[in-house]
Structure 1
Amino acid sequence: MSDVPAVDAVGLTKTYGTLTAVDRLSVRVGQGKVYGVLGPNGAGKTTFLRMLFGLIRPDSGTLRVLGRTWQRDGIRALDGVAGFIESPKFYPGLTGRRNLRLLAGLDGATSPSRIDEVLETVDLRARAGDKAGGYSFGMRQRLGVAAALLRDPRLLVLDEPANGLDPAGIRDMRALVKRLAAGGLTVLLSSHDMGEVEEICDDVTIMRAGAVVYHGSIAALREKAPEQAHEIRTTDDGRTAMLATAAGLTVTPLDDGLAVRGAQPDIDALVAEVVAEGIALRALARRETPLEALFFMLTEPGAPAPEPATTGAAR
């Protein structure tokens, strides 16, 4: 596998009037990785992907895709690259197979066996003769992946691939991305769901308001995450809060109950102490995962401003 990064962006900036959609973004994606670009809606994720595909041009900065640039190589910058921005679109009155044949014809000759192969990869071969208009949203997403795979890409770019899917569709999409990555394909995906990124990505860049607030591995991100929080409701929340504080746990009052943060053994000990004190436990539930809590801390309004310039550059 080549040492050339699949994506090498340095200082990308894109503005629309007074709005800075992407602010000095630097990202390097190694080949063979599953890489996530994570952030809330409006963070600049899709703008970055549009620049990668050449749909818009950055105001400043450099962007290399598999070693190529739009300025030097033009449309050849997309050799070995495939994917979709937002949701893929198809002719609803044509079958899934016929849609792929049309796309293959536009992109150059593709053998019928290749079409069968990509349909098999995304688990749609049995439904290939059905009209695309009758496909579920998840099936259309997988057909979009099949269309991208027709090019036999080295880099697959997916914009919010699980967005709008039901739990079964999310499960199928995650399994598909894992299978593709296991075959050596580099996958760059955007998402606003930390659980999705944690499940399938090796590395992640987290964005807020167009700028990077974190770049690195999922493993390193876990080390920065706060301890697990639980939501507790009892017949005496005031006394429970005192017991939790005395045990060294962090307590936040809620409208109905308490949010208690700490190591799981300490939470377990608190519950046992509450019961021993004769306080009835009405509810106990985990809140967001530690990584989800960290994501909200980094991206919600009022969070500390991102550091300028090279924050997020893996160089």
Structure 2
Amino acid sequence: MNDVLAVNAVHLTKTYGPLTAVDDITVQVAQGEVYGVLGPNGAGKTTFLRMLFGLIRPDRGSLEVFGRSWRDHGVGALTGVAGFIESPKFYPTLTGRRNLRLLAGLDGGDAAGRIDEVLDLVGLTDRQHDKVRGYSFGMRQRLGAASALLRNPRLLVLDEPANGLDPAGIRDMRDLIRRLADTGLTVLLSSHDMAEVEQICDNVTIMKAGSVVHHGSIAALREQAPEQAHRITTTDDDRAGELARARGLEVAPVDVGLAVRGPQKDVDGLIADIVDAGIALRGLTRDETPLEALFFMLTESAPTGPTADLDAATGAHR
């Protein structure tokens, strides 16, 4: 692998008056990986991406893209970089293909010759002659990815690419990113959805209120994540809670039923215990995934809901 990092952001800080939007963060993305910058709304993700694109300048710190900086190379720092911040915009009365032709004309080079290729990559070949005003939000997101790919980039930057998409749109965007990554393209994306990032990213930076609270691989995150939490409802929750504690499971009452957390084999054993005790099981559902639970632990100071009640009851801290 090339030793030059695709993105090398070191000690970046950006303030707006009394507000520190990005506070001394370091993000390093290797070439060829899919990297996620994860955090709730207001965490500083988009501010970081705006600095990467040169739309705003950091107050402190350094930022290089493939070894080039805005300070030393100006707009040349973005050679080989493409993407969009927030939602991409197009001329609604023009077709998808016509919008791409206009953008290709601005880019020059061989961009126009790539239109058919990128339309096929994002799955819009059959809708290329339809006006963009008739596109769904997901189709516009995919057209945004197509416009970025016209540049044949080495680094593709996507800001909340699945935001606002329905489940089918999220699946399509996830599949697209995987296909692009398989070609060796480096992908940097921001998201507030741990489940989305878990399925497509190699490494992740998690942010909260402008600061980094975690760097690492998805595999390392899984090792740190708590056990899966379940919600159980029965005809005798008090007795079910006793049986759960007897198996060493963490237990807390919630609005309906019990929240329990522990190894899956012990949860399975609890269900058998409940049935053997003659208690009717009315419901068994999974709460947030272990990685989602860890994400909330890292980014929320005052969480609410079943898992929060469980943490409060068992002394866990987020």
| Short-chain TM bin | over 0.9
Q: 1:118 deviation in Å?
A: 0.8
1:59 corresponds to which letter in structure 2?
Answer: D
Q: 1:246 deviation in Å?
A: 1.3
2: CA distance, partners of 1:135 / 1:210: 34
The aligned counterpart of 1:306 is: none
SS of equivalent residue, structure 1 residue 255: coil
Give a deviation string over 1:25-76, Cα, whole Å, max 9, x none: 0010000000000000000000000000000111100101111100100000
- Equivalent residues in 2 for 1:1-315 (5 A)? 1-110=1-110, 112-302=112-302
Give a deviation string over 1:87-119, Cα, whole Å, max 9, x none: 000000111111011111112243543111111
Select the structure with the greater relative contact order (CA < 8 A; seq sep ≥ 6). 1
1:2 corresponds to which letter in structure 2?
Answer: N
Q: Unaligned stretches of 5+ in structure 2?
A: 304-318
1: CA distance, partners of 2:252 / 2:43: 28
SS of equivalent residue, structure 2 residue 188: strand
2:205 corresponds to which letter in structure 1?
Answer: T
1: CA distance, partners of 2:76 / 2:16: 27
> Which piece of structure 1 moves more, 107-116 or 19-28?
107-116
> Which piece of structure 1 moves more, 97-106 or 217-226?
97-106
2: CA distance, partners of 1:302 / 1:22: 22
2: CA distance, partners of 1:43 / 1:238: 40
The aligned counterpart of 1:307 is: none
Q: 1:19 deviation in Å?
A: 1.1
Q: Unaligned stretches of 5+ in structure 1?
A: 304-315
> Which piece of structure 1 moves more, 254-263 or 105-114?
105-114
2: CA distance, partners of 1:300 / 1:110: 47
Runs of 4+ in 1 over 2 A off after TM superposition: 109-113
The aligned counterpart of 1:308 is: none
Question: What TM-score do the two structures reach when normalised by structure 1?
Answer: 0.94
SS of equivalent residue, structure 1 residue 293: helix
2: CA distance, partners of 1:20 / 1:275: 55
Distance 1:60 1:112, change over 3 A: closer
The sequence identity of aligned pairs, in percent, is 74
1:168 corresponds to which letter in structure 2?
Answer: A
1: CA distance, partners of 2:220 / 2:121: 32
Question: What TM-score do the two structures reach when normalised by structure 2?
Answer: 0.94
> Which piece of structure 1 moves more, 42-51 or 236-245?
236-245
1: CA distance, partners of 2:280 / 2:126: 55
Q: 1:130 deviation in Å?
A: 0.8
Q: 1:252 deviation in Å?
A: 1.5
1: CA distance, partners of 2:110 / 2:104: 6
2: CA distance, partners of 1:111 / 1:6: 22
Distance 1:111 1:15, change over 3 A: closer
SS of equivalent residue, structure 2 residue 68: coil
2: CA distance, partners of 1:128 / 1:294: 41
Q: 1:301 deviation in Å?
A: 2.2
1:71 corresponds to which letter in structure 2?
Answer: R
RMSD: 1.0
2: CA distance, partners of 1:253 / 1:184: 48
SS of equivalent residue, structure 1 residue 288: coil
SS of equivalent residue, structure 1 residue 92: coil
Q: 1:302 deviation in Å?
A: 4.5
2:224 corresponds to which letter in structure 1?
Answer: K
2: CA distance, partners of 1:128 / 1:269: 55
Q: 1:141 deviation in Å?
A: 0.5
2: CA distance, partners of 1:302 / 1:76: 44
2: CA distance, partners of 1:217 / 1:111: 34
